[in-house]
Structures are given as structure tokens and as C-alpha cells.
Amino acid sequence: MTQKAIEIKLSNGLEARPVAVLVQVASKYDSSVYVQAGDKRVNAKSIMGMMSLGLNNGESIVVTADGPDEQAAVEDIEKFLSGVGVA
């Protein structure tokens, strides 16, 4: 299991379009991927779950992945949320 605290650095936070992209990034991987904000934990591959978090720029989350490609999944999500983009 790989776990990492990440600060969201997207100017508009996680609105509908960035959430859709994040779900696409997470869905590329076979690993289970979860995002935790405060006491709420949701599946990062669920658009409705991610939208329910209502995350803004500057907020910190914890991304957890468990599976064969967990490290790559967490790294790609971190790149996206840092405003770097993904390959």
C-alpha cells in the first residue's frame, strides 16, 4: 500500500472538469485508489464520490493506492493535483 499527503494546487480546486480528469487518471491503474479529506474517504475512480468532497485549491488530501501499480498511480495523481499535468 502506498499513501501520500498531497496539497491541491489547481487554481479553481476540484470542479467538475478537473474531477473528471482525476477520475480518468485513477482509472488507468489496476490498483484500488482512494482519496481522503478530513474524515471522508472516497474511491478516486468514482466521479460522484470525488465531487462529494468539494475540494478547493490549497486543501490537503491523502491519496492511498493498493495494488500492482500503486506507486505509479499515486505519482500521477500527485502530478495532476500539483498542476504539472500527467503523461
Domain boundaries, the chain: 2-81
What number of other Cβ atoms are within 10 A of residue 18's Cβ? 18
Say if pTM beats, i.e. exceeds, 0.85: yes
2-81 CATH choice from 3.30.1600.10, 3.40.50.150, 3.30.1340.10, 3.40.470.10: 3.30.1340.10
Helix (H, G, I), strand (E, B) or coil at 59: coil
Written as tens digits, the pLDDT of the chain (87 aa) is 999 999 999 988 999 999 999 999 999 999 999 999 999 999 999 999 999 999 999 999 999 999 999 999 999 999 999 987 654
Q: Count Cβ atoms within 10 A of the Cβ of residue 41 and give its class: 0-12 exposed, 13-18 middle, 19 or more buried.
A: middle
Q: Which three cell numbers stand for residue 38?
A: 478530513
Q: Determine the Cα–Cα distance for residues 66 and 33; give it in Å rounded to an integer.
A: 7
